[in-house]
Amino acid sequence: MKITIVGAAGGEVTGSAYYVQTKQASVLVDCGLFQGGRKSEALNRPPTGVKQKLDAVLITHGHLDHTGRLPLLARRGHMAPIYATPATIEMTALILRDSARIQAADAERRNRKRQRAGEPPQEPLYTPEHAEAAIQCLKPVPYQQPVTVAPGVQAIWAESGHMLGSASIQLLVEEGGKTKRIVFSGDLGPRSAPILKEFEPFSQADMVFLESTYGDHDHRPFAETVEEFVRVVQDAVERRGKILVPTFAVGRAQLLTSLLAWMVRKKKVRPFPMFLDSPMAIEATNIYLRHRELFDEAMTKFVAEKPLRADLKAMKLCVSAEDSMKINDVAGPCLVMAGAGMCNAGRILHHLKQNLWKPETHVLIVGYQSHESLGRRLVEGAKVVSIHGEKVAVAAEVHTMGGFSAHAGQTDLLKWFSSIAPSKPRVVLTHGEDKARAVLAKKIQQQFKLPSRLPKMGDVIEL
């Protein structure tokens, strides 16, 4: 059997994809989009080497960097069943439709420029039709039950605590009368995060592919981050300022929404105007509420006690651009959650432009900010920024809240690995920048006496 690394390797964090081939079967595990700059995005092709007919695609979770190249498979005619948990199927459909819309809009903008330059138009990476074709192939699988996905290949999905429906996957591959176990961690969530259940590690593997996004450090404890969040909200409400939260539509938006409901219920803050200014985040929240079976005990109790809506009567859901624009007229205090999460596009830009220059404004950074993003400039303390070609002074207070991350820190990664370590697997570290991978490899060597391989893109691993 051989496994080709076709994404999220060589220091690259996005584009997750693994191509598993045996004598009788070929299976792809994840098929993510490369994101975060031109160099990465140039890699967005169907996974190389996938020539023969695919038997199946297995998805760990719905995030774009794990699903975003599925429409490219459809475009190439590589139609195969795509297996995922029911919640992941709903998230994947939401995310792929949005991605296809963005691809089309980007292509249109590029082509207007090309036309002015007398150059022929370029096609978008994929169209809504390709996304729909991929969505049609999605097939639900339960957690913790072996499913035959290809000749001689069974797969088991187990909770990974990273986003709604997320999973690690164990493959049981039979070849020449022997069964080999290969485990893909997928993205692992922090154990202390609310809403979702904790990850359930596998206990056996011949080979394990482990994510290493935060392999080099731990986040600030979640409870401390919540305390800071409460303080910032209370202060802004008192000073009648606006709180702007650039947020990714899936995951962070739901976490913050539930925290705000908790604050109101526990009377930590009196109800004040809040806006979920993102149609996609609104849709993702509905998917969360349809899958309460995936909530942890505390969240199950919290929503059973009283619906979130009862605490959040002051929260307005803004679907149209008009609704979004009206937030300008709201005199503080209020809280606005809007995309994009890295302030590189979307409705948040327009709220930042209107409010960054006011000292009573607070900006809460709750997710990863890439190097070239406006969000990173704010985190680094820029005094003046440019938004839509206009100079805007930054008088607002900017708070970075790393404790809200959806990824396990180093301690939790090692905790997950400790269940599987006694089976002495070969270890492959992916989905991390070089420094994070190197530090985690050293830790695994020290604690478990196991060497790790840090593959490059295109590496082929034989088993």
Binding site for Zn ion (CB under 5 A): 63, 187
Min CB(16)–Zn ion separation in Å: 8
Min CB(166)–Zn ion separation in Å: 7
Q: Residue 63 or 347: which CB sits closer to Zn ion?
A: 63
Min CB(61)–Zn ion separation in Å: 6
The full DSSP string for 55-96 is -EEE-S---HHHHTTHHHHHHTT----EEE-HHHHHHHHHHH
Q: Rounded to the nearest 5°, which phi and psi values hold at 273?
A: -60, 130
Whether 138 and 82 have beta carbons less than 8 Å apart is answered as: yes
Min CB(161)–Zn ion separation in Å: 11
Min CB(311)–Zn ion separation in Å: 28
Whether 164 and 294 have beta carbons less than 8 Å apart is answered as: yes
Q: Residue 63 or 443: which CB sits closer to Zn ion?
A: 63
Whether 438 and 245 have beta carbons less than 8 Å apart is answered as: no
Q: Residue 165 or 279: which CB sits closer to Zn ion?
A: 165
Min CB(60)–Zn ion separation in Å: 8
Distance separating alpha carbons of residues 161 and 131, to the nearest angstrom: 26
Angle at 48 between CA 22 and CA 40, to 5 degrees: 135
Residue 418's contacts (CB-CB under 8 Å, 6 or more residues apart) are: 201, 447, 448
Hey, what are 245's tokens? 């939260």
Q: Residue 50 or 163: which CB sits closer to Zn ion?
A: 163
Q: Residue 200 or 323: which CB sits closer to Zn ion?
A: 200
Residue among 306, 239, 238 at smallest CA distance from 270: 238
Residue 388 DSSP symbol = T
Min CB(251)–Zn ion separation in Å: 8
Residue among 455, 457, 459, 463 at smallest CA distance from 425: 463
Min CB(159)–Zn ion separation in Å: 14
Whether 258 and 266 have beta carbons less than 8 Å apart is answered as: no
The strand pair at 274-277 and 315-317 is best described as parallel
Residue 204 DSSP symbol = -
Q: Residue 63 or 75: which CB sits closer to Zn ion?
A: 63
Q: Residue 30 or 206: which CB sits closer to Zn ion?
A: 30
Q: Residue 63 or 377: which CB sits closer to Zn ion?
A: 63
